[in-house]
Structure 1
Amino acid sequence: MRLALLTALTMVAFAANSILNRLALAGGHIDPASFAVVRLVAGAVMLAVLLGLRGRLAPLSARPNLAMVAGLAVYMIGFSFAYVTLDAGVGALILFGVVQVTMFAGALLAREPVPPARWLGACVAFAGLVLLLWPASGAAQGISLAGAALMVPAAVGWGVYSLMGRGAADPLGDTARNFLWALPVALLPLAVAGPLSANGAGIALAVVAGAVTSALGYALWYALLPALGATRAAVAQLTVPVIAAFGGVLLLAEPMTLRFALAAALVLGGVLLSLRRARA
């Protein structure tokens, strides 16, 4: 029960990242390169403070895992830029669909056992996401190929980051080090795009996304990954678009439709099926 509750809390944090990013970019409060940089800076500062309170800043000076740093940086940059042109629903479908494929592939390469119920749950949950998100894009509107091209590597980056994080001995310290080392990579698009362009609201949204829903959410995710395993972690993340959609209903007065209710039931039912422990 504790694992399920903490996993649910982490998924809420992930959904909040999407909402905060869309609010900042759609409202014209900040450009995508600046959002990624401010998000990483805020996250690194928050994690450094927590390490300082713990009395152990040593992880910040330890040798980084370059694969994890690259995965985090690619995710942060791609995520920010993709949502400039992608519909939120389509973007979430691409992101978490590719994350699921990436993590299942990693599990198979590592020869992690995948029970039949988990395969079934993954398929049911993914079908729910398609039902919920794909029609929302509107066939006549089409999909931004540029946005999709940015979201796919972002999803692979997050999938790799999650796979590599399963062996973390110090979730808080490792997350802090990854944020710190990913920052120089995130500065590259900002150097090309020009100086930071943001108002107070944009910076505030990026700071919350970095310090709270990213830094704390990712550290918690790191701590949960060893218990979840790659495939259960992949399926659990399919709840994020549903949670974000619920946020739209509650916070933005978006209508509750029968399609939404059916899709949510499929996704949550599939996740519950996948999270069941296989019988010996």
Structure 2
Amino acid sequence: MRLFLLTTLVMIAFAANSVLNRMAVGVAGLDPGVAGAVRLGAGAAVLLVLAVWRGGGGVARPRPAVALTGAGTLFLYIFGFTVANGRIEAGIGALILFGAVQITMFAAGLLMGERPGAARWLGAAVAFGGLVVLVAPAGGAGVDPLGAAMMALGGLGWGLYSLNGRRAGAPLAASAVNFTLALPLALGWVALRGGGDLTWGIWPALLSGAVTSGLGYALWYAVVPRLAPSLAAVAQLSVPVLAALGGAALLGEVPGGRFWLAAALVLGGIGLALRRPGRSGARG
């Protein structure tokens, strides 16, 4: 039950990230590079303070390969996710993001020798079908192609980042190092783009970095080693519905019927996958 509650809390934080970053980039018009740098900087500051406090004056250092992979995949996620948030709505973006996460983590699980049971395979297939319903053109209109592609790239980065977290021995310290090492990459991105005018969007970007990203990712790094890769992937597909509700309440982005059909398929797939975990299901 404790693992379930912690996982639920992380999913809420992930949904809040979608809404806050859509607010910063898509609504307030903050430059994506600036938004990404602010998010990483705020997250790094909070995580470093907490890591030093919890570590009694020092921060445990993860293995260099784990740290560099974590920083690179975190930046890949931030890059795709932030650019996409300027082009597609929060709920739709979250659905594409975690669909790409699901594909990445399921594929990695198979390569790592995991053998999901039939129920989990069926649930994943139903959930993926919901994503197909969402992005397929209908009547000449569909999701912005570049926005969808960038969000899928972000999903690839997040899936790899989550998998890398399974190798991190100290979740809080590892998250602090990842954010700190990824920040120069984001600053380089800002330098290449030239930045832009600061808007009120800097405030939701700061909140996203300090709270729902920094603290949320540290908690995720603590939870993900206890979940099988395929189970972690499917659980994250609950985020788009939460993000859509947040987008409707805070941004006035009320999803249409096709989104809710897709969301119903996604949630139905989650239910099937969680009903009977495979042999390598969640531990603890």
Residue 32 of structure 2 is matched in structure 1 by 32
Q: 1:8 to 1:22 in 2, by over 3 A?
A: same
Give yes or no for contact 1:25–1:84 (8 Å, CA) kept in 2: yes
State the alpha-carbon separation in 2 of the partners of residues 82 and 127 from structure 1. 22
3-state SS in 1 of match to 2:95: helix
CA deviation profile, 1:35-84 (whole Å, cap 9, x unmatched): 00000000001101111221243236873622221100111111111222
Residue 93 of structure 1 is matched in structure 2 by 95
3-state SS in 2 of match to 1:114: coil
Residue 274 of structure 1 is matched in structure 2 by 273
Give yes or no for contact 2:94–2:243 (8 Å, CA) kept in 1: no
2:86 is matched with which residue: 84, 87, 90? 84
Give yes or no for contact 1:85–1:147 (8 Å, CA) kept in 2: yes
Establish whether residue 111 from structure 1 lines up as the match of residue 110 from structure 2: no
Give yes or no for contact 2:90–2:244 (8 Å, CA) kept in 1: no
Alignment of 1:191-206 (within 5 A): 191-195=191-195, 197-199=197-199, 201-206=200-205
Give yes or no for contact 1:89–1:134 (8 Å, CA) kept in 2: no
Residue 58 of structure 2 is matched in structure 1 by 57
State the alpha-carbon separation in 1 of the partners of residues 185 and 219 from structure 2. 24
Give yes or no for contact 2:120–2:276 (8 Å, CA) kept in 1: no
State the alpha-carbon separation in 1 of the partners of residues 235 and 141 from structure 2. 30
Give yes or no for contact 1:60–1:176 (8 Å, CA) kept in 2: no
Q: How many residues align?
A: 277
Q: CA deviation at 1:228?
A: 1.2
CA deviation profile, 1:176-203 (whole Å, cap 9, x unmatched): 100000011111210011145312x212
Amino acid across the alignment from 2:269? G
Gaps of at least 5 residues in structure 2 are 280-284
Gaps of at least 5 residues in structure 1 are none
Amino acid across the alignment from 2:84? A
Give yes or no for contact 2:119–2:276 (8 Å, CA) kept in 1: no
Give yes or no for contact 1:128–1:267 (8 Å, CA) kept in 2: yes
Alignment of 1:1-280 (within 5 A): 1-54=1-54, 55-59=56-60, 63=64, 65-131=67-133, 133-134=134-135, 139-195=139-195, 197-199=197-199, 201-252=200-251, 263-276=262-275, 278=277
Amino acid across the alignment from 1:275? L
Q: CA deviation at 1:94?
A: 2.8
Cα RMSD of the aligned pairs, angstroms, is: 2.6
State the alpha-carbon separation in 2 of the partners of residues 146 and 265 from structure 1. 25
Give yes or no for contact 1:51–1:172 (8 Å, CA) kept in 2: yes
Amino acid across the alignment from 2:233? A
Q: CA deviation at 1:277?
A: 5.0
State the alpha-carbon separation in 1 of the partners of residues 258 and 87 from structure 2. 25
Give yes or no for contact 2:126–2:266 (8 Å, CA) kept in 1: yes
Give yes or no for contact 1:46–1:215 (8 Å, CA) kept in 2: yes
State the alpha-carbon separation in 2 of the partners of residues 241 and 61 from structure 1. 32
Give yes or no for contact 1:34–1:197 (8 Å, CA) kept in 2: no
TM-score, normalization by structure 2: 0.87
Instruction: State percent identity of aligned pairs.
Output: 52
